[in-house]
Chains A and B, each alone.
Chain A
Amino acid sequence: MNITTIINARIINPEDGYDKLGSILIESGLISDFGPDVQAKGQIIDANGLICSPGLIDMRVNTGEPGKENRETISTAAKAAAAGGITSIVLMPETNPAIDDISLVDFINRKSENAPINIYAAGALTKSLDGSTLTEIGLMSEAGAVMFSNGALPIKSAQTMRRLLSYSSNFDCLISNRPIESSLSINTAAHESDFSLRLGLPSSPSVSERIIVERDIALAELTGGKLLIDLISASESLIAIKQAKLKYSNISCSVSINHLSLNEKDIGDYRTFAKLDPPLREESDRLDLLNGINDGTIDVIVSSHDPRPAGEKRLPYSQAASGAIGLETLLAAGLSLVADKQLNLMNFLATLTCNPASLLGLKSGRIKKSAPADLIIFDPNAPWVCKGKSLLSKSKNTPFDGRLMTGRNIKTICKGKLVFDSSN
């Protein structure tokens, strides 16, 4: 039997707010005991008083596999995730071909067998992401797809969305949809504000997001389907979600770490690395989103990792691709906000561990006896400078290039095995 003990750790379990010094005993890849009184056995990992929390779960990761392997492969993404303290990732179906069939879900499962971390597939909501033809949600769910998404492309038709929510509720599947009213947002590159208008960028208003947030909430109420409102960015959306959550438990939402850390001013002088989808919005939006994490309205933070080679980014702003990588900076960017007292540590960690785990129905994401030993040890105060070039992702399009960060992942343990150690 493979036995490891993490000693001298500040154990934080966001599920129940547990926060004590102690040790964690790992046997055969599972947590067998934890707390101040646990006797160290087997191989010892000394945490030196740093925080040990459940490994992070990132529900929104794009790679280029299959079809666009020049952007990122599953194996490079897994390495980057392990370095960033992420032990489970969900791959978006926006590949070529899209993950819209059981054989493609199976492809992802087989490709992920030898990965250092847990990799799950999100199935496509519609065939080839066409926005109208239902996919075999039941069969893909049986094959192992943990959620269903249409990637960056929203479901335009309310009728289709109704049917998706209604049909998927037979199998209790999570349906994720991007809140974008396409007719308002098509061919735009920025948030509609004084700033973008001065820059002369085609822009879309925040209500484009709010309209679909409200539509999807209404459809989730009607059908009882499990809805994830994918990547909110505006204060208006948050107000609608807060209201809906008072009555309905089947509605959840996610936000990307970029929208918690950056605002529209980061576009600066047409910096395309800060061109994101949804666009970066105003500082007031960012502050409201941070409050949404602290008061529990926002369920999940994601990296929205979207690797793009320089060729797709080094273009005039409105022609450049949207998206940024984030696997390695997710934890650090969040810890920087914690250090600035903008985010509450426990709430921040909950949105990356137990909250996504319960939405996806995973056993990980919590420190509990017989839970999988997916754990990270991180230093919440370590200062470092983010350098795009030294990141492990195949593409280097990070908006945090050159930024000062506070807090960093030190060790990653997945299924009881040490898969990343910063001292090496």
Chain B
Amino acid sequence: MQIMTYSKNIIDNIFGGIRPTSRALGKAATTIQGWYDSGTIPQKHWADIINAAKSFDHTLNSEDFFPKQLSRLESFGYPFNKLHCLSIDDFNRPDIETLLSLGAHYLDLNIQKNPNNRVLKGKTLINLFFENSTRTEKSFELAGKRLGADVISMQIANSSVNKGETLMDTAVTLNAMNPDIIIVRHSASGAPALLSQKVSCSVINAGDGIHEHPTQALLDALTIKSAFKKISGLRVAICGDILHSRVARSNVKLLNMLGAEVRLIGPKTLLPSEAETWGVNIFNNMKDGLEDCDIIMMLRLQIERMSDALIPSKREYFHFYGLDKEKIAYTKRRTLVMHPGPMNRGVEISSEIADDEKISLIKKQVETGVAMRMGILHALSNSQDSIK
């Protein structure tokens, strides 16, 4: 992975650290520290730095102060050149590593909130959400804005969709306005993929029906990686309504790729009938399934997607599959709990677990979500530019 911030490169490699830089430029060390942390250097100092660099036998020019033109994103020598983010299947292992390290880079709030970030300067993002969302839509909006892009959120309730326009016509209309990235959530599986064939910009799948939610899986992986410093070798249990969960489908693919052992736990009516072929272990009761798990990912019971009752009652569901202190003890080890949200307290997770900061990563997931989505936007924009 190449260095994402140009300031570190200049400070470390040319001047030999923060203090030498401070001496060479005659500026306070705290100022240099600020540049170092934010990754960028204000333009008014560029001339001084270019001059000072000459005395260190380095020739810099203004190009060196634009990281996105400098660095070609890659991992293990494989360049990242994907234009869409529709499914975890779109990415190979080096792509995932590139995305996760970019996400990790933006986890640093100084970098994330640096007002000079211009990675997406001049680019337009359209949030096209046909289904309700709080987390995903707002975190994409924030991620885009923090990277300097212009972000438009379509209000589907007020749009021509309600006048009977088809998805394809909406896509063609929006495409004619030349956006750079469209972020789509739709209730029909495969809708973002269809859209990507009709538009000339990048498409990010922000959840399609019961198919995939790749950015959620990526942010979950980043959350796990931050908490455990690794993913490979961990045992992850995904519990609950697997049948209707796009998050589960994306997570199974991604966690398998990253070397985690994945288990699916749920009543048979909420498990896809051929799930054994996904490379996971299936359990129908929490006691056996949770044993020795490092991570428990709880899923929301998606009552709105159930054509008729797949479980008799919330009371019975919580009794057998709701995560509470008693069931979490089945893991017999320190376990962290995740939930993609929104939670139904008392249906799949008890409040005592959800609110316990020592074991719940749920708030952390939302926080990581913004950073991870900045990383994804950055990577897609970068490969757009390199292809042009």
Contact = CB atoms under 8 A, between A and B. Distances in A.
Interface size band for A: 10 to 19
A150 to B, nearest CB: 14
A167 B308 contact: no
A239 to B, nearest CB: 28
A226 B341 CA distance: 35
A167 B319 contact: no
B43 interface: no
Given A170-B284, A170-B285, A136 B312 contact: yes
B316 interface: yes
A137 B268 contact: no
A181 B284 CA distance: 32
Contacts of B319: 138-139
Interface string B292-320: 00000000000000001111110110011
Contacts of B313: 136
B311 A169 contact: no
Interface string B347-358: 000000000000
Interface string A129-144: 0001111111100000
B267 interface: yes
B308 A138 contact: no
B265 to A, nearest CB: 11
B324 to A, nearest CB: 16
Contacts of A139: 315-316, 319
A222 B313 CA distance: 24
B19 to A, nearest CB: 65
Nearest to B268: A166
A163 interface: yes
A167 B311 contact: yes
Interface in B252-271: 267-269
A166 B311 CA distance: 10
A12 B381 CA distance: 82
B366 to A, nearest CB: 32
A223 interface: yes
A135 B312 contact: yes
Given A139-B316, A139-B319, A132 B308 contact: yes
Contacts of B284: 169-170
Contacts of B312: 133-138, 167
Main SS of the interface on chain A? helix
A160 B269 CA distance: 11
Given A167-B310, A170-B284, A170-B285, A136 B315 contact: yes
Interface residues of B, number: 16
A150 B47 CA distance: 85
Interface string A109-138: 000000000000000000000001111111
A135 B316 CA distance: 9
Contacts of B285: 170
Contacts of A138: 312, 316, 319-320
Contacts of A132: 308
Interface string A141-167: 000000000000000000110010011
B310 A163 contact: yes
A222 B312 CA distance: 21
A167 B308 CA distance: 13
B311 to A, nearest CB: 7
B267 A133 contact: no
B131 to A, nearest CB: 25
Given A132-B308, A134-B309, A138-B320, A167 B267 contact: yes
Interface string B129-141: 0000000000000
Nearest to A164: B269
A166 B313 CA distance: 16
Contact of A133 (B273, B309, B315): B309
Nearest to B313: A136
Given A132-B308, A134-B309, A167 B315 contact: no
Interface centre among A160, A167, A223 (most CB of B within 10 A): A167
Nearest to B312: A134
Interface string B173-203: 0000000000000000000000000000000
Interface of B: 267-269, 273, 284-285, 308-313, 315-316, 319-320
Q: Which 3 pairs, one residue from A and one from B, show the smallest C-beta to C-beta distance?
A: A134-B312, A136-B316, A166-B268
Interface of A: 132-139, 159-160, 163, 166-167, 169-170, 222-224
Given A136-B315, A136-B316, A163-B269, 5 more contacts: A139-B316, A167-B269, A167-B311, A170-B285, A223-B268
